[in-house]
Chain A
Amino acid sequence: MLIQIKNLTKTYQRHDGAINAVDNLSLEIPKGSFVTITGASGSGKTTLLLILGGLLRPTTGKLFYAGKEVNLQNEKEMASFRSNHVGFVMQSFALVPYLTALQNIMIALNVKNKNKAENQQRAMELLKWVGLDDRTTHYPKELSAGQQQRVAIARSLANNPDLLLADEPTGNLDPGLSEEILAILNEINQKQGTTVVMVTHSPTAAAYGNLKIQLKNGKLIQHNPTQTIFNEKLLIN
């Protein structure tokens, strides 16, 4: 099992009272699976994804990675967890605007490896893999939305993560480009064995998953029985 979460709750304090974005959630994600998380707006999808990636501290609950508990209250451990094990692909691409495509990938590689020549070579390989080896010196604003997302995917793979988290990766793309990005994510899952967890509103995108999670008000609800469940590993409280 790659990821296991137990009794996870994330509570936000609002002026009109507390709200549980994720409510006492427990589940397991097997290594090599392609998980899609769906649900209405405000159902807690992104909050769950951020916690899985060590980007957000839960109010209560535990996260286990490869059987080992991740200390979610320790800033350094969370940062190391992110740089060593997790890659992120975001709806807004999350590229540094004043860095070129190549530099955006190299800055991620630099977290773990300070060798500039090695990082440059690895970044070039990744850009070639996503079909952008002729766009290395282009800045994000000089790239199309689909190209920017491909750079973001290349960056997410920079440090060979076991887990790739994608938050609405096709949300800003037209259907043609969406298919392109989803195909790349699928290839990452199928050929490299990387576990992919993707938050999406799109039924087309959700269809790529072999394990589907549906949330409502921060809780797991019964998954859609018409969809094929590749591997039933959900532990519903």
Chain B
Amino acid sequence: MRLTELTLKELWLRKSQLISGLLAITLGIGVIVGIRSFSVVSEKAVAVNLDNLGANILVLPQSSSVDNYYAADIDASTFPEDYVERLVTSTIPGVDNISPKLTRRVKVGNENIVLTGILPKSEIASKPIWQQAGLVGEALTASCAPTGPKKYADAKLQRTGIDTLANNDCFVGSGIASRLNLKEGSNLTIMEKEFAVAKLLPETGTVDDDRVFANLHTVQALLGTGEQISAIEIMGCCSEISDGLLGKLRNVLPDTRITTIGQIVSTQIENNKLMSKISLVFLIIIVFVGGISIGNYIWANVNERRKEIGILRMIGYHKQHIYYILVLKALLMGFVGGIAGYILGTLAAMWLGPQFSGIAVSPLYILLPASVIISVFISVTGSLIPAYMAGKIEPFSNMQED
């Protein structure tokens, strides 16, 4: 029987106290890990989207929010599909490709998915990453792109697309495909309508992984929205954008919100920075609250174990041995709290990320050692004063008749 075994035995003996003592540190670390996981994945997703999104102008209903690019069109209010025609007939220079969309959250079995209705040719043109999946078709070229058989410096200026997406066909994001075990040629029933999976889309790290794309008119009929859409993506020519393209578009569609992806992305980046700052604030709070909580727990434990500490001192253990027992206990709690907090935070981010921001969050393993180190540091620091006070307990404490 060594002091380490004695510490483990005592920890195991008082499980309920252990759990309550761990709660503060676990929740605190969980919050930090959750925010950090979300913001790191969000930062990566911004970078991925900057690379892969062809469309650079987004037309949304006036009331929609652009705080989060990935979810800007999800559950947004709608406007008439006729607006597309207005754009097409406006002859505004620099508007080269128009992609109307209608997006809603729906349930398939127990899974929440994002159902997006698209007009395929233009949608494909605005998403070059799809072309990597072999969805090739007719080339679409921005008017300001250089002509001739050459490679363009700006890949956004030349796209390929497909002409049709049959009414019963759909493209399925990688996340949904994985969860519903879908393959190309599988059937997928959405709101009692059966679709054939025409293509599985490659992983993007964005809400697109949880999307099912179907023909716009099929989705409109399915959702009962009539000829309404929730967003229009436009491939605008870069030089025209700087020449006031947005203002011209606003004149044509005055009751909409028109913004460039750059603006949305910069908003997203600001949000990410804000989350980083919030996680720092949480970290400072957790250092204090967690440290005080563990310190309070250890102090209560010391008071409860005065007799036992007295016994150990009586049979020859030094103050340093008492410090060892209590600090080891705090260290173990910090270790367990760090791991539990990491798991809690990661699961929360994985569950809440897609729900609130449309970001598919995957575990960031680098945060595990960081969580453990921070948690152990907080825990051990919180235990130092109670351990010091325990060392002052006289060896004859409670040695006489109870």
Chain A residues in the interface with B (C-beta under 8 A): 46, 50, 53, 55-56, 75-76, 79-80, 82-84, 88, 90-92, 94-99, 102-103, 106-108, 110-112, 114, 116, 119, 155, 158-159, 167-168, 171-172
Are A114 and B399 in contact (CB-based, < 8 A)? no
With A and B bound together, what is the CA distance between A130 and B136 in angstroms? Answer: 90
Q: A96-B312, A102-B1 are in contact. List 4 more A-B contacts (CB 8 A).
A: A55-B396, A82-B315, A97-B308, A107-B1
Tell me, yes or no, whether B86 is within 8 Å of chain A by CB.
Answer: no
Residues from chain A with a CB closer than 8 A to the CB of B314 are 53, 55, 82, 88, 94
Closest 9 CB pairs of A and B: A83-B316, A106-B1, A111-B316, A103-B1, A55-B396, A108-B315, A79-B318, A82-B316, A107-B1
Q: 1/0 per residue B205-237: CB within 8 Å of A?
A: 000000000000000000000000000000000
Could you list 29 examples of A-B contacts with CB < 8 Å?
A46-B400, A55-B394, A75-B319, A79-B395, A82-B395, A83-B316, A88-B399, A90-B400, A92-B398, A94-B311, A94-B314, A94-B399, A96-B308, A96-B312, A97-B308, A98-B10, A99-B1, A107-B1, A107-B6, A107-B312, A108-B316, A110-B1, A110-B3, A111-B317, A116-B1, A116-B2, A119-B1, A167-B399, A168-B401
Are A111 and B315 in contact (CB-based, < 8 A)? yes
Q: What count of chain B residues pass the 8 Å CB interface test? A: 27
* Residue ID in chain A nearest B13 by CB atoms: A98
* Residue ID in chain B nearest A56 by CB atoms: B396
Are B313 and A79 in contact (CB-based, < 8 A)? yes
Residues from chain A with a CB closer than 8 A to the CB of B154 are none
CB contact between B399 and one of A92, A97, A102, A103 (< 8 Å): that residue = A92
Residues from chain B with a CB closer than 8 A to the CB of A97 are 308
CB contact between B315 and one of A75, A80, A88, A91 (< 8 Å): that residue = A88
With A and B bound together, what is the CA distance between A53 and B316 in angstroms? Answer: 11
* Residue ID in chain B nearest A109 by CB atoms: B1
Residues from chain A with a CB closer than 8 A to the CB of B317 are 79, 83, 111
Chain B residues in the interface with A (C-beta under 8 A): 1-3, 6, 9-10, 13, 307-308, 310-319, 394-396, 398-402
Are B9 and A98 in contact (CB-based, < 8 A)? yes
Residues from chain B with a CB closer than 8 A to the CB of A112 are 316
What distance in Å separates the Cβ of A41 from its nearest Cβ neighbour in chain B?
Answer: 11
Residues from chain A with a CB closer than 8 A to the CB of B315 are 82-83, 88, 107-108, 111, 155, 158
CB contact between A76 and one of B307, B308, B310, B318 (< 8 Å): that residue = B318
What distance in Å separates the Cβ of A156 from its nearest Cβ neighbour in chain B?
Answer: 8
Residues from chain A with a CB closer than 8 A to the CB of B398 are 92
Residues from chain B with a CB closer than 8 A to the CB of A50 are 396, 399
Max chain A Cβ within 10 angstroms of own Cβ: one of B2, B307, B311: B311
Residues from chain B with a CB closer than 8 A to the CB of A158 are 315
* Residue ID in chain A nearest B395 by CB atoms: A55
Knowing A79-B313, A98-B9, A171-B401, say if A110 contacts B2 (CB, 8 Å).
yes
Residues from chain B with a CB closer than 8 A to the CB of A82 are 314-316, 395
With A and B bound together, what is the CA distance between A120 and B394 in angstroms? Answer: 28
* Residue ID in chain B nearest A199 by CB atoms: B400
With A and B bound together, what is the CA distance between A167 and B402 in angstroms? Answer: 13
Residues from chain A with a CB closer than 8 A to the CB of B401 are 91-92, 168, 171-172
Residues from chain B with a CB closer than 8 A to the CB of A75 are 318-319
With A and B bound together, what is the CA distance between A4 and B254 in angstroms? Answer: 104
Residues from chain B with a CB closer than 8 A to the CB of A95 are 311
With A and B bound together, what is the CA distance between A97 and B316 in angstroms? Answer: 18
* Residue ID in chain B nearest A103 by CB atoms: B1
With A and B bound together, what is the CA distance between A168 and B308 in angstroms? Answer: 19
Residues from chain B with a CB closer than 8 A to the CB of A90 are 399-400
Residues from chain B with a CB closer than 8 A to the CB of A111 are 315-317
What distance in Å separates the Cβ of B300 from its nearest Cβ neighbour in chain A?
Answer: 17
Are B318 and A99 in contact (CB-based, < 8 A)? no
* Residue ID in chain B nearest A88 by CB atoms: B314
Are A79 and B316 in contact (CB-based, < 8 A)? yes
With A and B bound together, what is the CA distance between A92 and B396 in angstroms? Answer: 12
What distance in Å separates the Cβ of B308 from its nearest Cβ neighbour in chain A?
Answer: 5
With A and B bound together, what is the CA distance between A159 and B315 in angstroms? Answer: 10
Are A99 and B9 in contact (CB-based, < 8 A)? yes
With A and B bound together, what is the CA distance between A88 and B310 in angstroms? Answer: 12
Knowing A92-B402, A107-B1, say if A99 contacts B6 (CB, 8 Å).
yes
With A and B bound together, what is the CA distance between A135 and B136 in angstroms? Answer: 81
What distance in Å separates the Cβ of A116 from its nearest Cβ neighbour in chain B?
Answer: 7
With A and B bound together, what is the CA distance between A83 and B313 in angstroms? Answer: 9
Knowing A55-B395, A99-B9, A110-B2, say if A167 contacts B312 (CB, 8 Å).
no
Residues from chain A with a CB closer than 8 A to the CB of B13 are 98
* Residue ID in chain A nearest B316 by CB atoms: A83
* Residue ID in chain B nearest A97 by CB atoms: B308
Residues from chain A with a CB closer than 8 A to the CB of B2 are 110, 114, 116
Are B400 and A80 in contact (CB-based, < 8 A)? no
Residues from chain B with a CB closer than 8 A to the CB of A106 are 1
Residues from chain A with a CB closer than 8 A to the CB of B3 are 110
With A and B bound together, what is the CA distance between A118 and B131 in angstroms? Answer: 73
What distance in Å separates the Cβ of A127 from its nearest Cβ neighbour in chain B?
Answer: 14
Residues from chain B with a CB closer than 8 A to the CB of A159 are 316
CB contact between A96 and one of B311, B394, B402 (< 8 Å): that residue = B311
* Residue ID in chain B nearest A94 by CB atoms: B311
* Residue ID in chain B nearest A104 by CB atoms: B1
Residues from chain B with a CB closer than 8 A to the CB of A168 are 400-401
* Residue ID in chain A nearest B308 by CB atoms: A96
